[in-house]
Amino acid sequence: MNFDIILKAQKANGASLGIDPINSTLIGTTAFITGLAIPNEKFWVNLMPWEPDRIIDEELSQSEVGRIMLEADLQMKKDVCNYCNPCANETGKAYWDLFESKREELAQQCMNKYPGEIRNTDNVYFRPVITHWIIPDKVYAYTNDTEIYIINYTLTINSESDIDHSTFELYNQDVGDLSRGCFEELNRSAKEFSQYTKELDDSMILPYVIWDVNNEARYEDLRNVFVALALAQWYKSKITSDMDIFRDIYSSDYTVSDALQPWSFQEIWEDYIYSYENGEYICWENTTTKTATGTRTKCNPRSRGGVTFRNINSKIIEIDGIPPEVRDRVNSAVLEGLVDEEDEVLFGNRLHENRSQNAPVSAGSGSGPVPTVTEAAHDSNESIIDDGKGYDDEVAPLTCPEGWMGPDENGECWKMQITIA
């Protein structure tokens, strides 16, 4: 039985840094094995100020996959905030104009209902809370019963208004002096403002962040993890545990629990809390050309949420059959070890297991075809074939063991081939 895996790395071109082949393929392989070893429902991370005890699942807390997911979550929250910076971009200016206009509208609305209680609209500030989750979008793949070749994949960001944690603050006067009616009106307005902010984020900010997540180098490791977990979850859906060729590999604690570099999820949490309390930027905008005074815009990241890759398999859009040109590229990568193409390099490796003889799994790359299987046994079911040129008239046709695929034209029984592309 053969298991082939192909990893793709993009070449550097001109000023582009490209993708580090060693790093990207190592992360992909590590994430794939982690995805096999840990149940799908545990692949989540979460950064919320009021949930310091629910940052990451314990089984991911020291893994490379956990580090990459949590760092990407923090980066996403910073990016959401920085795209709102009115001192840095036109989108930020337009965003804050609408943000402030809505704030003043709701504050004035309360002042009209309860005259004399709020002295100035500038005294009211709403603190919206929006949850943002990086989630799977789509995974397009060529597939058949035993092979998958991922051709394209995207991530997206899901947003929700967290009205239960959205509040208001009152400046330059005591909130205790407000009537119950005015206080409840401001609470209702805080929830409305949170929903309005979510709609602003969805239309003005998130398109930029989603593009970054799918294209920018700072999210490259996350994308490598995502596609590797997609393959792992697809693989797990096709086999039973007793047929898993990797079971002896990921049973090692070292493989899953040890990261490629030391890290602490608590340190990432503390970075998030610092950003949450101190803001990502402070923007001063002059109100007059004659003085240096102006308005101060400070952005404390209001984004909560995280990254969840729990059910990637449901997002795989399968295109039946493997095109011949794709199969040729895959075979070349496996048999030659790598294929150097115009813009990218394919790295291939083959794991081979002689199930009938209980032989250990062996790996090979660039060493030519793996020898034809001449015997396949499962319990008392055993079949013998010749050298692959045809069946002997005196011998019954080969049948593969239960749960195995084949035989193919060379008389081989097999399980699975996956490709990260």
Which pLDDT does position 282 carry in this prediction? 72
Which pLDDT does position 316 carry in this prediction? 92
In DSSP notation, 317-384 reads: EEEES--HHHHHHHHHHHHHSEEE-SSEEEEEEEEE--GGGTPPPEEESSS-PPPPP-EEEETTEEEE
Which of 262, 289, 320 terminates a domain? The answer is 320
Confidence grade of residue 278 (pLDDT, cut at 50, 70, 90)? confident
Does one domain contain both 351 and 268? no
Which pLDDT does position 266 carry in this prediction? 93
91-102 pLDDT, tens digit each:
999 999 999 999
Residues paired with residue 376 on neighbouring β-strands, in sequence order: 383
Does one domain contain both 240 and 335? no
Burial 224-244 (b: 16+ CB within 10 A, else e): bbbbbbbbbbbbbeeeeeebb
Task: Considering only residues 2 and 287, tell me which one the structure prediction assigns the higher pLDDT.
Answer: 2
Find the mean pLDDT for residues 157-182.
92
Does one domain contain both 337 and 297? no
Does one domain contain both 315 and 413? no
Task: Considering only residues 64 and 353, tell me which one the structure prediction assigns the higher pLDDT.
Answer: 64
Q: What does the block give as tokens for 386?
A: 């010749």
Which pLDDT does position 334 carry in this prediction? 78
381-409 pLDDT, tens digit each:
222 222 333 334 444 455 665 545 556 55
Residue 19 phi, psi (nearest 5): -115, 130
Does one domain contain both 298 and 332? no
Distances 312 to 110, 230, 264 between C-alpha atoms, Å: 46, 6, 26
Which pLDDT does position 157 carry in this prediction? 97
**How far apart (Å, rounded) are the C-alpha atoms in residues 31 and 68?**
10
Residue 201 has pLDDT above 50, yes or no: yes
Which pLDDT does position 111 carry in this prediction? 95
Does one domain contain both 359 and 241? no
Does one domain contain both 252 and 147? yes
Does one domain contain both 65 and 42? yes
Task: Considering only residues 301 and 49, tell me which one the structure prediction assigns the higher pLDDT.
Answer: 49
In DSSP notation, 165-231 reads: T-EEEE-SS-GGGS-HHHHHHHHHHHHHHHHHHHHHIIIIIHHHHHHHHHH-GGGHHHHHHHHHHHH
Residue 305 has pLDDT above 70, yes or no: yes
Confidence grade of residue 218 (pLDDT, cut at 50, 70, 90)? very high
Confidence grade of residue 147 (pLDDT, cut at 50, 70, 90)? confident
Which of 281, 299, 320 terminates a domain? The answer is 320
Q: Which helix (H) or strand (E) holds 259?
A: none
Q: Which range, 183-187, 340-344, 376-380, has the best average confidence (pLDDT)?
A: 183-187
Which pLDDT does position 374 carry in this prediction? 31
Closest CA to 419 of 227, 198, 168: 227
Residues with Cβ within 8 Å of 22's Cβ and at least 6 positions away in sequence, in order, are none
What distance lies between CA 138 and its chain's CA centroid? 12
Which pLDDT does position 368 carry in this prediction? 38
Which pLDDT does position 279 carry in this prediction? 73
Using a cut of 0.85, tell me whether the model's pTM lies above it.
no
- Tally the domains of the chain: 2
Does one domain contain both 330 and 348? yes
Which pLDDT does position 358 carry in this prediction? 46
**How far apart (Å, rounded) are the C-alpha atoms in residues 125 and 137?**
35
71-97 pLDDT, tens digit each:
999 999 999 988 988 888 899 999 999
Find the mean pLDDT for residues 59-71.
94
Query: Where in the sequence is the domain holding 107, given as residue range(s)?
Result: 2-320
Q: Say if residues 19 and 9 touch (Cβ distance below 8 Å).
A: yes
Which of 265, 289, 320 terminates a domain? The answer is 320
Distances 142 to 209, 375, 410 between C-alpha atoms, Å: 29, 30, 23
**How far apart (Å, rounded) are the C-alpha atoms in residues 402 and 138?**
33
Biggest CA-to-CA distance, the chain:
103
Does one domain contain both 197 and 293? yes
Which pLDDT does position 277 carry in this prediction? 79
Does one domain contain both 128 and 258? yes
Within 10 Å of residue 272's Cβ, how many Cβ atoms? 22
Q: Average per-residue pLDDT in the chain?
A: 77
Residue 31 phi, psi (nearest 5): -65, -35
**Pairing verdict, β 281-286 and 294-299:** antiparallel
204-215 pLDDT, tens digit each:
999 999 999 999
**Pairing verdict, β 316-320 and 130-143:** parallel
Does one domain contain both 376 and 248? no
Between helices 64-82 and 206-215, what is the axis angle to 10°? Answer: 140
The pLDDT > 70 percentage for the chain reads 67
